[in-house]
Amino acid sequence: SIGFINGKYVALDEKAVPIEERGHQFGDGVYEVIRYYNGEGFMLEEHLERLEKSAEAIRIDLEGGIDSIRTIIEEGVKKAAIPDCSVYLQITRGAAERNHLFPKDVPPSVSMTIKPMAPFSKEMLNNGVSVITHPDERWANCYIKSLNLLPNILAKQAAAEKHAYEAILYKDGKVTECSSSTIFIVLNDTVITTPLSKQILPGITRMAVKEICEKAAIRFEEREYTTEELFSADEVFLTSTTSEVLPVTHIDDRKVAEGTPGNLTTLLMELFKAKTGQ
């Protein structure tokens, strides 16, 4: 594993961040997590585009633009020499005397960690995971991949304390997404997921699944759905950069259908694996 901050490679436990860093004091920044498979950044350009949009949304100007970030990532991965890794890349509004207002003439901070990724546990892939439902208590701009993750942290911790892997979030009776992944249901051989809006993060893995469905002529529908529909679904699965495509077989201690991964989910897992070159 290696770390990087503002032009310098550091060890992960090295003291490298000033106390008055806005990421540290305010969570004033944005981030990305990118998966490398066999030395290749999976959908790297899509991640960079989303990062650019997140930075723009909170009005952080990237000196050198997104190209400078691509260079930092690619040089880092080369230096780390870990072909199967996850890259965490964070941009904050920089270090300045604590004040809510934007600091003047302070450059953004760019930091990164690169860590090896082990393949997912066979047990989770074969049996699926248990999840809980939890109210979505986040703000109105969840399309921004912001460092402010308190509601997500609290929801995921609540899940872990019930021996569950994730928390499915709902607002006004409708499913939004999970604390750190996108959620899908299958009803009548149609893959259904919440439409993109300011209420959810536009998942890169979601985009990959949509492309896969279009190519494989699997019906794919983007529409809102209720928690009742979630509980009556034929199949449920979640996706993220680090979880890939993962079957959900139990929700709040209730079985999804027979309580085993569904056929379409299994097919999508295989097609996704192929898309990553594994």
For the annotated catalytic residues, the residue numbers are 145
> What's the min distance (Å) between Cβ of 180 and ligand PLP?
4
User: SS3 of 193, please?
Assistant: strand
Q: Which stretch binds ligand PLP (CB under 6 A): 9-17, 53-61, 123-131, 198-206?
A: 198-206
Please, which of residues 124-143 interact with ligand PLP by CB under 6 A? Answer: none
In the complex with ligand PLP, the residue whose CB is nearer, 155 or 256, is: 155
Binding mask 201-240 for ligand PLP (x = CB under 6 A): x-xxxx--------------------------------xx
217 contacts: CB under 8 Å, gap ≥ 6 = none
Whole-number minimum distance, CB 244 to ligand PLP, in Å?
Answer: 9
Least Å from the CB of residue 236 to ligand PLP: 15
Instruction: Give me the helices (H) in 146-199, please.
Output: 150-161
Collapsing DSSP to helix, strand or coil, 225 comes out as: coil
Helix (H) or strand (E) holding 273: helix 263-275
Told to check if 182 binds ligand PLP by CB under 6 A, we report yes
Residues 246 and 239 sit within 8 Å (Cβ to Cβ): yes
CB atoms within 10 A of CB 174: 17
Does 181 engage in binding with ligand PLP (CB under 6 A)?
yes
The DSSP secondary-structure symbol of 226 reads B
Interface with ligand PLP (CB under 6 A), residue total 13
**What distance in Å separates the CA atoms of residue 236 and residue 251, rounded to the nearest whole number?**
9
List of residues contacting ligand PLP (CB under 6 A)? 33, 177, 180-182, 201, 203-206, 239-241
